Structure 1
């Protein structure tokens, strides 16, 4: 048996998807909308590495969170023995970069990142082992105005994308001393209901009791509903901050639901927390989540500074977008050259460069094929026009232009001839709406 015959075909790892050209056009379209949306609010791009020291996430996210305990892709660096982790979320790395490069020395920072994150979990709709996030962080801002601005930003994004049925849930986690008092009362409550707690809840009740309230177990719902509410432990400062957020949302006409059991899954949050959710993505209904994390910079070795941010799951956002909006895949090019001989192909390549100089997207058919096959490929490309070059066109110095789209054919003849010297201006004027 030959080496080629014995090699087993390799497929992508479960939960890590290939994004093929037709689908990636939607991703690129969404990313372009997101970049313009963020620029409108003064946010700039920060690109941190995919790999970070494992201790960054253990410290920043929390050692008793699901992410750190069960979901991180971690390994020992063979070069120096360091424990490294593929980022499971963006915030810890963004904060590490902010501290390392003294970004807050002169002024607060509005930054964002887009890209893949990695979690070792069972793949399901809207949740993969490699998935993608839009991460937005406002670093160095203390007031409720920025919390509210982030929520208003998101409401604008949903409007830009035409999304429907996306709801805002809001809560406050207060300050550390308020959470400590609530934690004591909550643990006492859980201990009195130990008989209804499942195995996971019993494991968490002394390490991360807030997460017990976020249970989906029907047998624990009555216990969770009767648990002490963190909101009732908030002091004057925390309530004033939360009221400030709510007032600004009211000013902007943004509706929300107060959810006292909303805690988020990471340890670093305080004060405002929020989620945007939907019923149209199955069990994974959270499209975006975020909140304030004023203690994280100091926790990771920086000077104390306030911070607030959010993350959007891009796969879930695309899923919703495609449900709510009609979407046409962008054309591969504006003009497609069809040719008959090597000499015609060479002329096509010269003319194509001139058209690209004029801002048009152009493809020249590669390789020998008959006209029928070339026109089929031209039509599949989505081009507005096919430029035909054969021996007769080379001799006359005039190209034949065939319009491939109905909107073009309605306004001019289906096929026209044009001197080579006038081709650029002619096609640029006719295809300008597609540039």
Structure 2
């Protein structure tokens, strides 16, 4: 039987890994400049964490989570998003006792959602995201948006727009929910079964339905930003002033509610038109009640996530996917003796040089072809004559020039040539 990767999953092959490194290295560098530290959380969590945090009326919980009972009868879920695990860790380990605000990011974060696989959206995909705990300030909201834009631009994506909205708080949202119900009531029988269920349980979710007929009805629904309490209104104004101070253009999109129930006040999306229906490359918002919801103290927070696979698609559309660099600085050939070429490579590796050799000890011509395929910058050759003289030949694969050097001086000479740019780089 020939096994294949499961539907909605994808292998990252050795020839593609450098694309991930490009994104990851950039993300680590940018988050360091903004004062963030990395967090890594388990792939599996208690199902209740997402029921309470994400919300039992969301598509994620109702349709998309991979949930199962373990051998102890506990309900376990493969995490469908990154924030829940980060908030659980923040609470469990009492990180709220550290100096606030706490800034953290996650980079290699596999998430799982059972949905129809499509471009940039797999059943197992990977997220880069940040979470900031302990600051209720709109300055922090602007900082998060600035960080997301900086990451996207530095990986090579610059045709972007920022859309923002406010979805209020526990003070002003109840009255708005009633306003929504009054608006949708005459149309309820035209809407899908899920929306009819949400009408009573969570009216705000009616604005987020993807069904065409429901979306058309929601288009003219009352806007939350017209029903904000003074605190939320002041916060939203401060966000707009902060974005203007950072010279970040933005648009207000009252249709943004995001797909998770934990959001309060600020929600935002960063959009690219390059990938059609999947144009949202980053989304996030404020969640000032989430820590408390999962058992922690009252603690404001904000964060965002962006899908790594979707960024790859966008970079490809820009023609900006980086090329793989050579895998080898020096390739070692010791004719007729694989043990000696292994020793040469080992000496170079111990000095921090990327070195390789041919364990099959093929012909000189075959080994040279192999070195070229590896992108070797230098080739170190030791034949019978060189062995007797106690020397090796170092050949520059770009210029084809070669020099003879004593075996004991090999490492220093190779380091000198690599550092001095005497190769094809």
Same fold (TM over 0.5): yes
With over 3 angstroms needed to count, the CA separation of the structure-2 counterparts of 1:271 and 1:123, relative to structure 1, is: same
Tell me the equivalent position of 2:407.
420
Q: Residues 312 and 321 of structure 2 are in contact (CA less than 8 Å); yes or no, is this contact kept in structure 1? A: no
Q: Provide the C-alpha distance between the structure 1 equivalents of 2:96 and 2:262, rounded to a whole number of angstroms.
A: 19
Q: Is 1:401 the counterpart of 2:388 in the alignment?
A: no
Once the two structures are overlaid, the 10-residue window that deviates more, 326-335 or 264-273, is 326-335
Q: Is 1:11 the counterpart of 2:10 in the alignment?
A: no
Which of 418, 422, 425 in structure 2 is aligned with 1:431? 418
Offset at residue 397 of structure 1 (A): 2.0
Paired residue secondary structure (2:278): coil
Post-superposition CA distance 1:376-420 (Å, at most 9, x none):
211111111111222122112222222223xxx2xxx53332222
Which of 228, 234, 238 in structure 1 is aligned with 2:232? 238
Q: Provide the C-alpha distance between the structure 2 equivalents of 1:426 and 1:320, rounded to a whole number of angstroms.
A: 43
Q: Provide the C-alpha distance between the structure 1 equivalents of 2:279 and 2:209, rounded to a whole number of angstroms.
A: 15
Q: How does 1:142-291 map to 2 (within 5 A)?
A: 142-291=136-285
Offset at residue 144 of structure 1 (A): 0.7
Q: Residues 51 and 84 of structure 1 are in contact (CA less than 8 Å); yes or no, is this contact kept in structure 2? A: yes
Once the two structures are overlaid, the 10-residue window that deviates more, 47-56 or 156-165, is 156-165
Post-superposition CA distance 1:340-369 (Å, at most 9, x none):
112xx3333333233223321111211231
Offset at residue 220 of structure 1 (A): 4.4
Paired residue secondary structure (1:112): strand
Q: Provide the C-alpha distance between the structure 1 equivalents of 2:98 and 2:339, rounded to a whole number of angstroms.
A: 56
In the alignment of these two chains, the number of paired residues is 419
Tell me the equivalent position of 2:81.
89
Q: Provide the C-alpha distance between the structure 2 equivalents of 1:25 and 1:214, rounded to a whole number of angstroms.
A: 36
Tell me the equivalent position of 1:3.
none
Q: TM-score, normalised by structure 1?
A: 0.92
Query: Can you give the 5+ residue segments of structure 1 that lack an aligned partner in the other structure?
Result: 1-7
After superposition, the CA RMSD in angstroms is 1.8
Which of 18, 21, 34 in structure 2 is aligned with 1:28? 21
Paired residue secondary structure (1:283): helix
Paired residue secondary structure (1:294): coil
Offset at residue 316 of structure 1 (A): 0.7
Offset at residue 207 of structure 1 (A): 2.5
Query: Can you give the 5+ residue segments of structure 2 that lack an aligned partner in the other structure?
Result: none
Q: TM-score, normalised by structure 2?
A: 0.94
Paired residue secondary structure (2:16): helix
Q: Residues 400 and 416 of structure 1 are in contact (CA less than 8 Å); yes or no, is this contact kept in structure 2? A: yes
Offset at residue 326 of structure 1 (A): 4.9
Once the two structures are overlaid, the 10-residue window that deviates more, 202-211 or 309-318, is 202-211
Tell me the equivalent position of 1:5.
none
